[in-house]
Amino acid sequence: MRRTLVVGNWKMNGSKEANADLVAGIVSEAGNVANADMAICAPFVYLSDVANAVNDTNISVGSQDVSVHLEGAYTGEISASMLLDCSCKYAIIGHSERRQYHGESNLLVAQKALTAYKSGLIPIICLGESLEERESGQVEVIIGEQLQAVQSVMGADAIAKSVIAYEPVWAIGTGLTATPEQAQDVHGFIRSRLGTDAEKVSILYGGSVKSANAAELFAQKDIDGALVGGASLNAQEFIGIAAAG
């Protein structure tokens, strides 16, 4: 049985002061969440603060990216071992904003996921199609290619211990959520491609998830939780989503 996982992706938002309030709000309500695990993926510079604030709670910490390199002369990069040093359990890999604004290819995403996994982090590997790709009937082709790259580089054993997030690009930050049926169709497709370990892998949905639509998404057979952007910046909303798990 896969346990629901609700992950907040703060993106490039927050400040020391605002984060302290937000995490305190989440921690104070975390006791109301019985059926889901929670994680917060904060900007790199705040990871240690957030990790200290959620210590001894049922909330884990993750990063929003990781370097493909292990160490060395890579100015500005953050390695997997540094993330472990800051108490990270998860690393979001290949978010569509990294693919779109930082030119991350399917191959680089797959290599980053392997680096994260081998270092001891749990990669949250993001897949998703654009509106144009959906409207031209390319959803399974695009998702299939993104997933295939990860499968060839990581192998089935590593993917079985990772998390996948399906995030249709047209639903991210737009208020347009995929319908539960649209999301389930793609989640079912992804699971059908995962082979013998398919039932072990948690597949999260992301794209305008809020407390008002979480329960109907989580009711779908192959939706195992959510990757939450905007709504994760509000403690009540984030807890409301996790409580629907």
Residues serving a catalytic function are 95, 167
- 116 or 155: whose CB is closer to ligand PGA? 116
- 198 or 229: whose CB is closer to ligand PGA? 229
Are 69 and 79 in contact by the 8 Å Cβ rule? The answer is yes
209 touching ligand PGA, by CB under 6 A: yes
Instruction: Name the residue whose CB lies closest to ligand PGA.
Output: 229
One character per residue 114-153, x = contact with ligand PGA (rule: CB under 6 A): ----------------------------------------
- Burial code (b: 16+ CB inside 10 Å, e: under 16) for 162-200 equals bbbbbbbbbbbeeeebbebeebbbbbebbbeebeeebee
Task: Please state the closest distance from residue 13 (CB atom) to ligand PGA, in A.
Answer: 10
CB atoms within 10 A of CB 87: 16
Q: How far apart are CA 137 and CA 150, in angstroms?
A: 22
Q: How far apart are CA 99 and CA 28, in angstroms?
A: 35
223 touching ligand PGA, by CB under 6 A: no
228 touching ligand PGA, by CB under 6 A: yes
208 touching ligand PGA, by CB under 6 A: yes
206 touching ligand PGA, by CB under 6 A: yes
Site for ligand PGA in 162-181 (CB under 6 A): 167, 172-173
Residues 6+ apart with CB under 8 A from 238: 6, 8, 26, 38, 228, 231, 232
Applying CB under 6 A, the residues found at the interface with ligand PGA are: 9, 167, 172-173, 206-209, 227-231
